[in-house]
A = this chain, B = another copy of it.
Amino acid sequence: MLDPFFIPKSIAVIGASSNPRKLGYAVLKNLVDGGYAANHSVYPINPRADKILELPVFPTVNSVPDSIDLAVIVIPYPYVPDVLRECGEKQIPAAIVISAGFREAGNVGLERELELIQIAKEYDIRLIGPNCLGVIDTYTPLNASFAAGTPPSGPMSFMSQSGALGTAVLDIALAGRLGLSKFVSLGNKADVDEIDLLLAWQDDPNTRVIMIYSEGMSNGQKFIQVAREVTRKKPVVAIKSGVTQSGSRAVSSHTGSLAGSEQAYQAAFSQAGVIRVNSMDELFAASAAIGYQPSLEGDRIAIITNAGGPGILATDALERAGLSLARFTNETIQKLVQFLPDAASAANPVDVLGDALSDRYQFAIDTVADDANVDGLLVLLTPQAMTEIDQTATAVGELSFKTEKPVLGCFMGEKQVKSGIDILTAYNVPNYSFPVQAAKAFKAMADYRLIRSRPLPEFVQFEVDRESVRDMFNRVRSEDRLSIGDAEARGILQAYGLRIPRSEVAETPEQAIEIASELGYPVVLKIASPDILHKTDVGGVKVGLSNAEDVRDAFELMMYRAQRYVPEARLWGCLVQEMVPSGGSEVLVGMNRDPQFGPLVTFGLGGIYVEALKDVTFRVAPFSREEAHEMLEEIRARALLDGVRGKPPADKEAIIDTLLRIGQLVLDFPEIVELDINPLIVYQQNQGAIAIDMRLILKEELA
C-alpha cells in the first residue's frame, strides 16, 4: 500500500531549513504553499531551529508527540541511514529520500544504498528514492518535493526516472495547459519502482492516464505481467530513453546480433499493452487526449476546418497514423449542404471557408458530431481576417461537454489564437499546434481501444519431457560443456514435442542398413561422436544415400577417416537420418536472453531475409498463441508466408506451435542463454515443419 506517500495524515521533513537556498526549505515551503499544511500536521525536523515558515521545529522524529505517516529526508547522505532507523523506531511507514550520494555515485554509493534497503526491510518502511525530486498529489493536495511550484490538478499521473525531466514537465504544467494528478520522481528506485506505482494507480479515481519516463527496468518480466493487467483498466503511455545506445551493445550470437534493448522494449511494451511514444512531445500529445477526452470507439475521424490547406495536412497526418476519414451519412451531408455556403465542402474534411463566423463552425461541428459514422472530431482553425476565435473555441468546448465522442482542437498560430486555446483548455479540449500532433494523439487513443479490447493472453502448457532435458543439461555440465548441438539438441527438440528428422545411431554397417530400410531411402549418414564438432571437415556427412551398398560404403569410410584424422575421438557409430522432403521454406526461430526482460524469442524468414534485410520480430516469453501469430504478421516479408509466385501458403500453425514450445523451453530452463533452430523447414498448410537442428548455449554458472 502506497497511500502514505499520497494521502499521509502527517509529515515530517527531516532536514527542514530556514535557508531559502536549501532544498530542505524548498520542500517545506511546497508543503505549506501547496496547501497540505493548512489541513494536516507538518513537522519540520532540525536540531538547530525553533520555527520555520511559522511551523514549530522538532530536533528528531522521536521528539514529535504524534504519529507520523511520511518522512521526507533532505539531509547529507552520511546521516541518512541513522535517520531512517529513527523513522523505523517511530514506526513511520513511508519515506521519501531526496538526498543524493547513493547508487548514482558509484560503488561506495551503492553500498550506502544497500544499507538503506536493509534498514527499510528491517523496519518495514516503503521508500521512494534516494536521489529524487519528491512526490506530488494535487488532489490531497500534497507537494512533498523541491519543484518550483505546484502544478494544476488534472487527470494525468506521471512517474519519472529522471528528476530533471520532471522539473521540465512540471514547468510545462505550471504554464497552465496541462493538469497532473500525481507526480513521482523515482530516483534510484531502491524500493518503490514502476511496478508498485502501476499497482497503486490502477484504481486511483483521480488518475485517468499513467505516464512513464523510463531509463531501464529492474524486473522486466514482472513489469509485463503487472502492466498487462493494469492497462486493461487504465491507459499507460511510456517513453523509454537510451534505446539507441544500449542497442549498440549488441550481443554476440547470431540471433543476439539482431536483438538489442530496443527490440526487447518494443516487444515488452507491446505485450504489456503500454502505448509507446518516441518523444516527450508525443508523450504529452497522447496523454492529454486520453486523459481529458472520452475514449475513441472507432477510427473514423471527422475534420472541420476553415481552410483547405490545413485540412489536407490533417488528412495526410491521419492517414499516415493509420486512422481513417469518416464517411458521413447522407443526412449529415444534406444538412451541411443546406446550411453552408456553396463554395464550402460538405464532405470530410468539412471546409466551412475562411469567412466562417462561429455560428457556421458551431453548426458544422454539432451536425458532424451527431453522425453515427463519426468516432472523433478534429477542429482546425486558422486565424483569418473574419475568424471569431474565442466564440469558436467556446462552441467547440460546449460541444465537447455534450458529445460522448472525443474532440481535439488544432487552432493554428500563437498570438491571436492564444485566448482561444485558453478557452479550449478550460473546457478540457487539448489543442495541438499542427495537425500531425493531433493525429498522433488520435492514434494513441485508437491504440488504447485495441489494447483494452484484446483478450487476456492464455499461456498454453504443452506436455513435454522436461526431466530428460534436465538430465541432459546435468550431463553436459558434468562434462564441462556449455554449447549443445547435434543429437543432444535434437533430443531436446523431441522432448519438447517438435518434429525432427527421424534418425537412429547405428554401431555397425549392418545396423545402419537395417535402420535405413526402416526410415526409407534416401537417407543421410553422419558420424556420431561427442568429440567431432566439424563433421564435414573429416568427411563425416553424406547425403542422398539411396541403397544398402551406398550406406555400407559410407559407414566404413567414415569410421576409417575418423580413426585416422581424429584418433583420440570417441566414436559412437553413425547417425542414420531421413532425408527431409524438399519444397519447404527455411525460417528462423531463436532466443536470446535480454538482461531486463528475459527470454526474447525471435522469428524471421531464413537466409537473406534475416542476414541482409534484418527482417525479424521479437516477443518476450511467455506469450500467447495470438501474440505468436502477431509475430508472423509483423515481418515485412509476411506475404511470402501466404504464398507468392505459385508457391502454396506455408503452415503458419506449425510455426506458431514451434514458437510456443520454444517459449516454454526457455522459461522452463532459465540457464539457456541463447538458442537457434537452424533451420526450421516449414512446409505447406497442414504439412507441418521440421526442425533440422538446434544450437544452444548454457549459462556459465547456475545462479
Instruction: Report the bound CA distance from A164 to B243 in whole Å.
Output: 40
Task: Decide if A168 touches B382 in the complex (CB within 8 Å).
Answer: yes
Interface residues of A in 635-658 (CB under 8 A from B): 636-637, 639-640, 644-645
Query: In this complex, what residue of B is CB-closest to A101?
Result: B343
- Which residue, A104, A161, A280, A418, has most C-beta atoms of chain B within 10 A? A280
Of B279, B315, B317, B413, which contacts A167 at CB under 8 A?
B413
- The proximity string for A residues 294-332 relative to B, scoring 1 for CB distances below 8 Å and 0 otherwise, is 000000000000111110110111011000000000000
Chain B CB count within 10 A is highest, among A167, A417, A637, for A167
Instruction: Please tell me if A468 contacts chain B, counting CB pairs below 8 Å.
Output: no
CB of B171 within 8 A of CB of A316, answer no
Which of A5-13, A371-379, A431-439, A509-517 is near enough to bind chain B?
A431-439
Query: Of B167, B171, B244, which contacts A320 at CB under 8 A?
Result: B244
CB-CB under 8 A from A417, the residues of chain B are 168, 171
> A175: which B residues are within 8 A, CB to CB?
414-415, 418
Judge if A536 is at the interface, Cβ distance under 8 Å: no
Q: Is A198 at the interface (CB under 8 A from chain B)?
A: no
Pick the residue among B413, B637, B645 that contacts A168 (CB under 8 A). Answer: B413
Interface string of A429-452 (1 = CB under 8 A from B): 000011111000000000000000
* Bound-complex Cα distance A242 to B316 (A): 6
Q: Which of B165, B174, B309, B382 interacts with A241 by CB under 8 Å?
A: B309
Question: Which of B279, B613, B636 has a CB less than 8 Å from the CB of A317?
Answer: B279
Residue of B nearest to A171 (CB): B413
**Is there a chain B Cβ closer than 8 Å to A403's Cβ?**
no
Decide if B414 touches A174 in the complex (CB within 8 Å).
Answer: yes
Q: How far is the CA of A397 from the CA of B640 in the complex (A)?
A: 56
With A162-B308, A343-B105, A385-B23 already in contact, the answer to whether A313 and B415 are too (CB < 8 A) is no
Closest-CB distance, A637 to chain B (whole angstroms): 6
Residue A278 interfacial (CB < 8 Å) = yes
The answer to whether B164 and A644 touch across the interface, beta carbons within 8 angstroms, is: no
Q: Select from chain B the residue with minimum beta-carbon distance to A214.
A: B309
Per-position 1/0 for A20-42, Cβ under 8 A of B: 01010010000000000000000
Asked if A168 meets B383 with Cβ closer than 8 Å, knowing A279-B434, A316-B245, A436-B280, the reply is yes
A148 contacts chain B at the CB level, 8 A cutoff: yes
Hey, which chain B residues are within 8 Å of A165, CB to CB? 307, 309-310, 313, 382, 412
Contact with B along A230-269 (1 / 0, CB 8 A): 0000000001011111000000000000000000000000
Interface membership of A687, Cβ < 8 A? no
A313 cross-chain contacts in B, Cβ below 8 A: 165, 239, 241, 279-280
A384 touches B241 (CB 8 A): no
- Chain B residues lying within 8 Å of A307, measured Cβ to Cβ, are 162-165
Q: Say whether A354 faces chain B, with CB atoms less than 8 Å apart.
A: yes
Within the complex, what minimum Cβ distance (angstroms) separates A172 from chain B?
4
A146, A306, A415, most chain B CB atoms within 10 A: A415
Q: Roughly how many angstroms separate A21 CA and B149 CA in the complex, as a whole number?
A: 44
Say yes or no: is A612 at the interface (Cβ < 8 Å to chain B).
yes
- Residue on B with the closest CB to A642? B612
List of B residues within 8 angstroms of A433 by Cβ: 280-281
Shortest CB distance A424–B (Å): 16
For the complex, what is the distance from the CA of A646 to the CA of B234, rounded to whole Å? 52
Does A686 make an interface contact (CB < 8 A)? no
**Are B613 and A319 in contact, with the CB atoms below 8 A?**
no
Task: Compute how far the CA of A320 lies from the CA of B645 in the bound complex, rounded to whole angstroms.
Answer: 36
User: How many protomers of this protein does the assembly include?
Assistant: 2
Minimum distance in angstroms from A170 CB to a CB of chain B: 8
Tell me, in angstroms, the Cα distance from A385 to B148 when the chains sit together. Answer: 7
Given contacts A174-B415, A417-B171, A640-B612, contact A281 B436 (CB under 8 A): yes
Is the Cβ of A612 less than 8 Å from the Cβ of B171? no
Q: Tell me, yes or no, whether A608 is within 8 Å of chain B by CB.
A: yes
Given contacts A316-B245, A320-B244, A644-B608, contact A310 B162 (CB under 8 A): yes
Which chain B residues border A161 with CB–CB below 8 Å?
Answer: 309
Nearest CB on B from A145, distance (A): 10
Residue of B nearest to A310 (CB): B165
User: What are the residues of chain B within 8 A of A434 when measuring CB–CB?
Assistant: 279-281
A611 adjacent to chain B (CB < 8 Å) = yes
Say if the beta carbon of A213 comes within 8 Å of chain B: yes
Q: Which residues of B contact A645 (CB under 8 A)?
A: 607-608, 611
Cα A319 to Cα B317 in complex, Å, equals 25
Give chain B residues whose Cβ lies under 8 Å from the Cβ of A170.
413
A416 within 8 A of B: yes
List CB contacts (< 8 Å) of A138-188 with chain B.
Answer: 146, 148-149, 160-165, 167-172, 174-175, 177
A359: B residues at CB distance < 8 A? none
Q: Judge whether B309 and A354 touch: CB under 8 Å.
A: no
Q: Quick one: which of B148, B316, B418, B607 contacts A416, CB cutoff 8 A?
A: B148
Asked if A215 is an interface residue, CB under 8 A from chain B, the answer is yes
Query: Least Cβ distance of A21 to chain B in Å?
Result: 8
Q: Are B245 and A310 in contact (CB under 8 A)?
A: no
Q: Mark A325-357, 1 if CB is under 8 A from B, else 0.
A: 000000000000000000100000000001000
- Does the CB pair B383–A167 fall under 8 Å? yes
In the bound assembly, the distance between CA atoms of A162 and B165 in angstroms comes to 38
Decide: B312 and A171 in contact? CB cutoff 8 A. no
Q: Which residues of the partner chain B approach A312 to less than 8 Å between Cβ atoms?
A: 215, 241-242, 245
CB closest chain-B residue, reference A280 = B434
Name the residue on B nearest A170 (C-beta): B413
Known contacts A168-B382, A383-B168, A414-B171; decide if A215 and B280 are in contact (CB<8 Å). Answer: no
Can you name the residue of chain B whose Cβ is closest to the Cβ of A160?
A: B309
Residues of chain B with a CB closer than 8 A to A280's CB: 313, 412, 433-436
Contact B315 A164 (CB under 8 A): no
Q: Which chain B residues border A162 with CB–CB below 8 Å?
A: 307-310
Chain B min CB distance to A74 (Å): 11
24 pairs, CB–CB < 8 Å, chain A vs chain B:
A26-B385, A164-B309, A167-B382, A168-B382, A168-B412, A170-B413, A172-B413, A172-B415, A215-B309, A241-B309, A241-B316, A244-B319, A245-B316, A245-B319, A279-B317, A280-B434, A281-B436, A281-B437, A608-B637, A608-B644, A608-B645, A611-B645, A612-B639, A613-B637
- The 4 closest A-B CB pairs, nearest first, are A162-B309, A164-B307, A171-B413, A168-B412
